[in-house]
Structure 1
């Protein structure tokens, strides 16, 4: 290193400095012994400087090696987690220096971290939708759905595709359930219109989301809701049959209630006119039927009495004894 130029000293070199030092010692009259001590001290100080520089260089190399050592498994782990080796160029070691290897790995690591963040978001989105759809099918409220945590051990496109397939299956099931619910709600509504009773009260008892202008996709599609709707339809159909049965009266008694009796020959599903089976209408019809029954009964008794008188006259002319009082009592006995 002696004789090399130092940028800080300009043209001054170690040789010229030593020469200058010799001139000063000559002028001062420094002894050879003192001069030797000074040279040894200078050499020791220079050696100490070299040692410090070597130590610092070794420490810097160790830090670079550690950084490289940490980067390699991170790179491998990311590649394994994402499962897409072809998507990122993995640098080859070859005979590159430590810094060259780090410079080569850095872009790949950065790209893989970015891909991981994007993939995590995709997994989080699809898993959130799966959890939400499962909750809707199970009938759980939003408050009952726990926050999910993405498993970062496998973020491959293959795994993501599996989740997406599962989500599509759940969405189809949700769509099928929603169609069933809407069809059943429509059937319940039609039955309530025919029966002339309040639709709102019962349908909200099944589930509050089934009534009104609530967003279609917010309506309950759980097994419990479907079961209650099916049961409600069954009960209403039975009520409808019973009310139709109450209207089953003889032809001569239907004349005044043709607007009611026109439903008798219709099947359960054909009766759709509003209030056609309202309780008030049926009760009115029952009162009229009861009145007609009394009139019919009275007329039947009149006819029977006339026939009894005619028979008594016949028996009298034939000199046959009968119990007139007992026979007439039977005519007037009511059911």
Structure 2
């Protein structure tokens, strides 16, 4: 009782004066009532017991409140630690750790709550950022994979709520940027592929919408809500479509090339007019570029190929009705080519034989035409291999012409006259004499070249059906005979001059009749307008004293009369005049081919 009423008790909520005044008032009331001391003690004990119960209840309540505060603080600290770990806020220091000893629980709770609320707000913002990024990642990933059902990003994010740090956010952003870049690349690939498909479909005349729709409907979908599919399957489908179209383009290009090749053969064979050819010039111009460069719409469509094929079929039908005419025409071309190259044409396809075989039906005109075409190609190839020798032959024949001109010129007594143009003939004669001295070397070189050609080709070199080496050997023999005859003529002239001189010494000299007019009439020369002397055509003199030189032209004249009106085949003979023994003066005026000295004026 004394402890209860002791004013020194440390009871919170009661002041000492209040307790003592109340106790004194209670004791006074008991005294007034007349309570005994024992009753007073008993009632004071009860009062003390009741006070202890009240204290105990308050202590328990306070302890429970303290425990709850401890739990709240611990929970907030745990939440704070979780938020810091999730957000990666490692640099945030809890204020409780620094003020734990001095701060009460309520103060600790008051200090930690704002920090937790701030981190909660950061977490919510971070979760939103992750959600947006994840949503974009899921969307792009779905577009790339071809699965367009976008999963709720928040539900997929719950599995990773423990890591909302900036590092993780940066990783997600980097992943998103990589996906966006890949998406951009894929979109460009799709657009390029679609454009290429569009170009190829245009070239081939195919339906573009049907072609790309088989790959994916979105590639030609006009619905603005439809996105462009960029999945691996779409890209692979586009690549396969492009490969198929390119293969088809290559096949059609080759087919058009083959058909146009046949068309050109028929045009050339049938001499089709330029106006008729121009109708297909636009189609044919496609072949001037490579197959990969063809971009003109419809250039390789089936309609174009069918149009050219129809023209080829029409010309083939027309060719069948004109085959005989074509065979005769190509045979004439073969003969003309053989004439120009001095090669004997194959007589198995001669015009009369070909006509008879076609009329009798013994041979297919197409096969005969192909045979003639092969002969033309063979003649062209052989003419190419003979070109160098033929050029040498032309130079040799030109030299022979100069030699013949020089001989006729030397027999003309008026060559030194002072007429106009005489100096031109003098210069030509000097050049001709130089050329004539080269003829033996030309012949020998031509023989060696021809023999080398024959050894290489393992066949004879024929010139208008005669072996060229034989012609050249005969020419050498005839030239030697000519030289011998000229030598005999000079010796005989010297003898006649000696006899004439002897007669003059015995009987005296007498004037000799002039025979210039008869000479000019005989040797075939006439003066042209400028005073120069030009040889006129001469015939072979029967029984002439000097043999004719054998050249390819003279052989051609004897061997092949078919071309005699078109070629220069005959060589002008020397036409030495037989010397009449009784007319020595006439012989002395015309004998020899040596150039005379100019007359003394």
Smaller-chain TM-score bracket? 0.7 to 0.9
- Give the alignment of 1:1-335 within 5 angstroms: 13-86=18-91, 88=92, 90-91=94-95, 92-95=98-101, 96-142=103-149, 148-150=156-158, 151-213=160-222, 218-248=227-257, 249=260, 250-251=263-264, 252=267, 254-304=277-327, 310-312=351-353, 328-332=361-365
Distance change (3 Å), C-alpha of 1:223 and 1:301? farther
Q: TM-score, normalised by structure 1?
A: 0.84
Return the alpha-carbon distance in structure 2 between the equivalents of residues 296 and 266 of structure 1.
30
Q: Deviations over 1:299-319 (max 9, x none)?
A: 2333337977842499xxxxx
Give TM-score, length-normalised by structure 2: 0.49
The answer (yes or no) to whether the contact 1:81–1:154 under 8 Å persists in 2 is: yes
Q: Which structure's CA Rg is the greater one?
A: 2
How far apart, in 2, do the equivalents of 1:104 and 1:195 lie? 79
Q: Post-superposition shift, 1:179?
A: 0.6
Deviates more, 1:139-148 or 1:16-25: 139-148
Corresponding residue of 2:374: none
| Structure 1 residues 302 and 15: alpha-carbon distance in aligned structure 2, compared to 1, 3 A threshold | same
Which consecutive unaligned segments of at least 5 residues does structure 2 have?
Answer: 332-348, 371-601
1:327 deviates by 6.6
Bigger Cα displacement from structure 2, 74-83 vs 142-151: 142-151
Q: Which residue of 1 aligns with 2:591?
A: none
Greater CA drift, 37-46 or 294-303:
294-303
- For residues 282-312 of structure 1, what are the alpha-carbon distances to aligned partners after superposition, in whole Å with 9 as ceiling and x for unaligned? 2122111111122234323333379778424
Deviations 1:181-201 (A, max 9, x none): 100100111111222221111
Native 8 Å contact 1:305 1:328 kept in 2: no
Supply the distance in 1 between the matched residues of 2:317 and 2:219 (Cα, whole angstroms).
47
Give the distance between the partners of 1:19 and 1:140, measured in 2 at CA. Answer: 91
C-alpha contact 1:237 1:268 (8 A) present in aligned 2: no
324-333 vs 129-138, which moves further: 324-333
Partner deviation per Cα, 1:5-24 (whole Å, 9 max, x = no partner):
xxx99xx9333333333333
Structure 1 stretch displaced more, 251-260 or 51-60: 251-260
Q: Is the 8 A contact 1:305 1:331 kept in 2?
A: no
In 2, Cα distance between equivalents of 1:279 and 1:269: 18
Please identify, of 303-312 and 135-144, the stretch whose mean Cα deviation from structure 2 is larger.
303-312
Q: Does the 8 Å contact 1:89/1:108 carry over to 2?
A: no
Q: CA deviation at 1:166?
A: 1.5
Once residues 313 and 28 of structure 1 are traced to their aligned partners in structure 2, the CA distance between those partners, rounded to angstroms, is 173
2-side partners of 1:38 and 1:173: how far apart? 92
Shift of 1:332: 4.5
Which shifted more, 66-75 or 160-169?
A: 66-75
Q: Is the 8 A contact 2:357 2:363 kept in 1?
A: no
Q: Is the contact made by 1:132 and 1:145 (CA closer than 8 Å) also made in structure 2?
A: no
Deviations 1:83-123, CA, capped at 9 Å, x for gaps: 1233x452123421111111111111111111112112222
Residue 51 of structure 1: CA displacement?
Answer: 1.2
- For structure 1, the 5+ residue unaligned runs are 315-322
Over 6 Å off, 4+ runs: 143-146, 305-309
Residue of structure 2 in register with 1:319 after alignment = none
How many pairs does the alignment contain?
321
Q: Distance in 2 between matches of 1:313 and 1:215?
A: 75
8 Å Cα contact 1:188-1:233 kept in structure 2: yes
Structure 1, 50-59 or 119-128: larger mean CA deviation: 119-128
Tell me the secondary structure at the aligned position of residue 218 of structure 1: coil
Shift, 1:329, TM fit: 2.5
Does the 8 Å CA contact 1:138/1:223 hold for their aligned counterparts?
Answer: yes
User: Residues 107-159 of structure 1, C-alpha deviation per residue, up to 9 Å, x if partnerless?
Assistant: 11111111112112222222222222222112223268996234022211111
**How large is the RMSD of aligned CA atoms in angstroms?**
3.2
Between the aligned partners of 2:278 and 2:248, the Cα distance in structure 1 is 25
CA contact (8 A) 1:184 1:230 kept: yes
The Cα shift of 1:247 comes to 2.7
* Deviation readout 1:21-65 (Å, 9 max, x if unpaired): 333333332222212211111111112111111111111111111
